A and B are shown apart, each in its own frame.
Chain A
Amino acid sequence: DGGITQSPKYLFRKEGQNVTLSCEQNLNHDAMYWYRQDPGQGLRLIYYSQIVNDFQKGDIAEGYSVSREKKESFPLTVTSAQKNPTAFYLCASKAGGANEKLFFGSGTQLSVL
């Protein structure tokens, strides 16, 4: 079955540590997105990629980095520069066309030890 997979489901970060959240899709979608969800804040865009080897910053990119070396994969690294990383992270992908729906992964809950 086609879908989008995020791992791990839960992740803990020590202070000063970089951690990487995985996002893989087998839907053959060109576009992929990372959103951060905090209580009462809705979904805020971190980074997005419309095509392999290209990506753009979203509204809250500081302290995060991404890569898009393969169409199927769009990992997100939360760096030590991100001082408040505790949040729920959602990855999504979409086929071409503005009216196409977003396909979401099941999310990763990141917490600080």
Chain B
Amino acid sequence: DAKTTQPPSMDCAEGRAANLPCNHSTISGNEYVYWYRQIHSQGPQYIIHGLKNNETNEMASLIITEDRKSSTLILPHATLRDTAVYYCIVSSWAGNQFYFGTGTSLTVIP
């Protein structure tokens, strides 16, 4: 079962930052936080992952709280193509139980 909780939906104005929260209060010390997104009728796409430290790549930034019980995915300048369902997942590095919750449906508004 998914160990994460996310709001079901969010809106964001085009060009603004989209901040997507995720709660994972039962995360274990060896578990990473992964973010994926799924555009309608496609396979999920990897965005970013992290263990303790904040991470940034060309797609997004990941902010993990010090107690690791929650995190925020930041899309710095949302575009219409960022409209998708965003999934937050916690899993150990070599784990085979990669459970998706219901995710957050992000709508970027022109």
Whether both chains belong to one complex is answered with no
